[in-house]
Chain A
Amino acid sequence: MKIKRLLIANRGEIAVRIIKSAKALGIETVVIKTSAEPSAIYVREADIVHDDTDDVSEIPVFLDIERLIEIALEHEVDAVHPGYGFLAENAYFAQKCMDNRLMFIGPSPDAIYKLGNKTIARQIALRNKVPMATGSRGTIRSTDEAIKVAERIGYPVIVKAASGGGGRGMRIAWNEEELPQMLRLAQNEAEKAFNDPNVFIEKYIANPKHIEFQILGDTKGDVIHLGERECSIQRKHQKLLEEAPSSALSPELREEMGEVAVRLAKAVRYHSAGTVEFLLDSNGEYYFMEMNTRIQVEHPVTELITGVDLIEKQIRIAAGEPLGLTQDDIKLNGWAIECRINAEDVQAGFAPSPGMIEKLSFPDMDFVRVDSGIEEGSAIASNFDSMIAKLIVSGENRDEAIANCRKALDKVWVKGIKTTIPFFKLLMKHPVFVGGDFTTGFIENDLEQYHEAKAEEEQVAAWFATKLFVEEKTADSDATVDFEQGKKMDPWLLNKRLNQF
């Protein structure tokens, strides 16, 4: 089977990223132009553009399975790449693609379904002796049941959406009083975000590290792992910075966890790229959290230290090619850090900060890779995610990567919008981060403020504000208010006005 033409059912930086690998493979790409961002980079870069700007329906096209299939058939593509988010982990979509003789670039619908449903995934993990936090056996049906389960496993507990992901639909309850409310909130959010109010309960592991393993499997049943990513820098379960490898893993632990990840993948005959997420506590115990059956936002850090193009592999695997790699081929070289440059106001607790990007440029340095689907003049709309770019920096070792990251951050030029850059600048100098010994609670527990503030720069800003004030007052006072001009009236009008009174 050969792929000649590929539909990208996604937008933004991941669409651009897929186009890049597809081009290298000599595959034509089809993308969908929407009215929300008709001049986006991914539209320009693709070979074939499907114009969907006339669409007025309420569901965005990237979530509309029927329409995506129609578009794929209309353009006679061989395969569909879902990217991440949207329908990337929708088993029904994968099945629909197959039903229409379209290759779905990702695992089988069966694997997506089993791993996507966290209660089923837990059972599979249990059967395969994957270490896990204790929790409810299945979906929680009532508040009473929740309280019983929580009592059995002990507080604190975390209520999670069964179909969840990306940190949404999760609530922590520290005691019995809080549980009913948190249960309600998690269900409510899960219903909204995933159209599935089912939740389950797990022991909450306080302040762990978030470690995930990248795996790759082919359709013949070979599965390998490409080492771990450290994603503990997160806020409210939203990842902000990822690095590879993790300073917390010894080679032995890496091997052990990698094997567990591979075992789990094999249990569902997994193919394509996937990620097995673990929590690692301070005693070095690790617990399986979930498996993501798609390419991850943070995949570039793995690519940089392994030299493997993960998107290319995904495409090749979908076309039926063998992995072409054994576990021994995978060597981790150097260190890579990814900063998610988001349109967020870190000084207002990472509140979304939509707007128009007036200026945007990234440094041209050989240790910097930028994955972005946004450019100068683009608007960060409130209906898509807030990511502007991923700044991925590498170095020989962690210290060098951090030093390089600092240099790169200093050279990013953004205007018109508030971003997470001041946060990363702070992070790169923070002893806890630099020391490498941080957990998912880092931002909430160790940080007083979320941005790097320099007293001198504040003074410069004060000067600027004062200058604006002076300029405005001077402009006001220089403006001449001309009362005479108003008095010059057409005799017709003046006459009428005077005669009225």
Chain B
Amino acid sequence: ETYSAAASWVETHGITVNKLRNYAEYVSEDTDGNIEFEVFSGGSLAPAASMASALRDEVAMYGHITSAYMPADLPLDNVLNDLVFIADDPMAAAFASTEVKLNSDALQQEYADYNLVFGTGYSMTTYYLICNTPISSVEDLEGKRIRTGSSSQIKWAEHVNAISVSVPATEIYTGLERGTIDCSTGDASFLTSSFQLQDVAKHTTLVSLGTHNSGGEFFNGDFWQARTPEERRILLDNLARAEAELQVDWARQAETALEEAKSNGVELIEPSEDLKQSMEEFTEQFLENLPETSMEERGVSDPSELIDAYIEAEARWKDLLSDVDRTDSEALTELLINEIYADIDVETYGVN
């Protein structure tokens, strides 16, 4: 049977390519066409901010949710996204957050309340500072208008006395071109494939502003429960494969994107010592305050346990990944299945 699968990312984006199109193919093959996904990219079925309700209401049965758009619905998931400001290894962050989201009772409850079943997480590559003017020190940042992409980045901008502004994605390019903004945070692909900022922003400061792992791929709860355990196993293991392939692709693309930008005249700037130091101070303070600010701002109960679980998982994954070829998606798939998915009991997972 055919079911709708939806994402708000555009057709060429990794999430659409790996997690929806390729995934749909793998699942169709492994189930002999019993489960076919019809893919709707770019929010053509429902706007990005409505993806969770669209999955809950069966507009689509499988899809990508960016929880940052629905902080009131998925507050704990957003805490994890705040947390990856400290992540310096996107692949480890991706797999660690997948592990935590699959296993945390609190998060599972949050998803179940929305009739969602979590499938995999992800992590974009490291966010840098992409500017139309050279920035290397804390002093350079003062009073600069920065387009930020997450609450943690906003807090950081305030910490360095920059001004964070909300600019829609479609206005980043012209904003940098005309100077209504000085910088945008963004991963390497912002310079090339996704936003083409290399034309208008000739300076990129290689200071790590964390990654993104907001939400992930989810199934509609009723759809999931109507599947046989064998089908659920197929659905999960292929998610592991799609996720491994996505992170391999992204890591490679991030590298080539920086090279391409450099060859197109974008200056890659190393942060000065004082900026590095300020960054360390900020992250330390940030991490210390996170449980409290989360309780205050996001209205969750004490997330310390979740935060610790993530930090532990991230360390474990850094370790696991040090023994494996990070460009070998088959090996990574196997690792994900062995370390995470094999432990999921398909008889009970997501079934209430």
Our verdict on whether A and B bind, yes or no, reads no
